[in-house]
Chain A
Amino acid sequence: AQSVAQPEDQVNVAEGNPLTVKCTYSVSGNPYLFWYVQYPNRGLQFLLKYITGDNLVKGSYGFEAEFNKSQTSFHLKKPSALVSDSALYFCAVRDKGGAGSYQLTFGKGTKLSVIP
């Protein structure tokens, strides 16, 4: 079965500094990886995905993620953090479920706090 690990429950970063939210994965076959963001009492918003191609994936709101096959990692990054980036971030891997359709397996989430 596929799995995703987000080793940090919380990441604190000063506004304007670069941020990294870590994610490692375990899959059989080719990994299809995703990042989602969740604001309080809201659903998840899609940020970016890696399916194939360039290892550096650019997504919404200035976020990017680097796929590293040898380290089985897919860390989320942003060059300059904003206070409005403070939210809960989920890494996910596509998995094939019992219904035959592709479902997502999520990491436990990392709370990002950007300090003014």
Chain B
Amino acid sequence: GAVVSQHPSRVICKSGTSVKIECRSLDFQATTMFWYRQFPKKSLMLMATSNEGSKATYEQGVEKDKFLINHASLTLSTLTVTSAHPEDSSFYICSALGLAGAYEQYFGPGTRLTVT
């Protein structure tokens, strides 16, 4: 099956610094990737949709200047949390769609971000 990886799995950073999270599709090309945020015991909140070679589309209420998304290739999307604050601490999950029009999203294992 399709495999999506995320790196790092856990990261602790100090307030005010920036953190980059990578999402890779390992055995398929992903034209579209998604970034979600999940709060404890809560559902997934879609942050943005990332299409290869174009700007990401952010959901309402998500600050594009704070959460920078780059989808530079068909196998890699990155999420950079800039000037992180403790309230940015969360579980971030990416997913990928394979072929255009594909039905299933394949999810990465998630990244636990803790901002101190």
The reply on A74 being an interface residue by CB < 8 A is no
Nearest B-chain residue to A39, judged by Cβ: B109
Complex CA gap A36/B95 in Å reads 12
Q: Are B104 and A34 in contact (CB-based, < 8 A)?
A: yes
Question: Known contacts A43-B107, A49-B103; is A108 also within 8 Å of B112 by CB?
Answer: no
The smallest beta-carbon distance between A99 and chain B, in angstroms, is 4
Complex CA gap A111/B91 in Å reads 18
Contacts of A43 in B (CB 8 A): 4, 6, 93, 95, 107-110
The smallest beta-carbon distance between B24 and chain A, in angstroms, is 13
Q: Are B49 and A101 in contact (CB-based, < 8 A)?
A: yes
Nearest B-chain residue to A95, judged by Cβ: B46
Mask: chain A, 32-51; 1 = CB below 8 Å from B; 0 = not: 10101000011111100101
Interface size of B as a range: 20 to 34
Nearest A-chain residue to B34, judged by Cβ: A103
Question: Known contacts A98-B57, A101-B32; is A41 also within 8 Å of B91 by CB?
Answer: yes
Complex CA gap A102/B46 in Å reads 12
Mask: chain B, 25-42; 1 = CB below 8 Å from A; 0 = not: 000000010100000011
The reply on A22 being an interface residue by CB < 8 A is no
Q: Are A49 and B104 in contact (CB-based, < 8 A)?
A: yes
The smallest beta-carbon distance between A83 and chain B, in angstroms, is 21
Contacts of A41 in B (CB 8 A): 91, 110, 112
Mask: chain B, 73-107; 1 = CB below 8 Å from A; 0 = not: 00000000000000000010101010001011111
Within 8 A of A (CB), among B4-61: 4, 6, 32, 34, 41-44, 46, 49, 51, 56-57
Complex CA gap A44/B95 in Å reads 9
Nearest A-chain residue to B58, judged by Cβ: A98
Complex CA gap A109/B36 in Å reads 15
Q: What are some 14 contacts across the A-B interface (CB < 8 A)?
A: A41-B112, A42-B109, A43-B4, A43-B6, A43-B107, A43-B109, A44-B44, A44-B95, A94-B103, A99-B57, A101-B32, A103-B46, A104-B105, A109-B42
Residues of chain A touching chain B, judged by Cβ–Cβ distance below 8 Å, are 32, 34, 36, 41-46, 49, 51, 90, 94, 97-99, 101-104, 106-109, 111
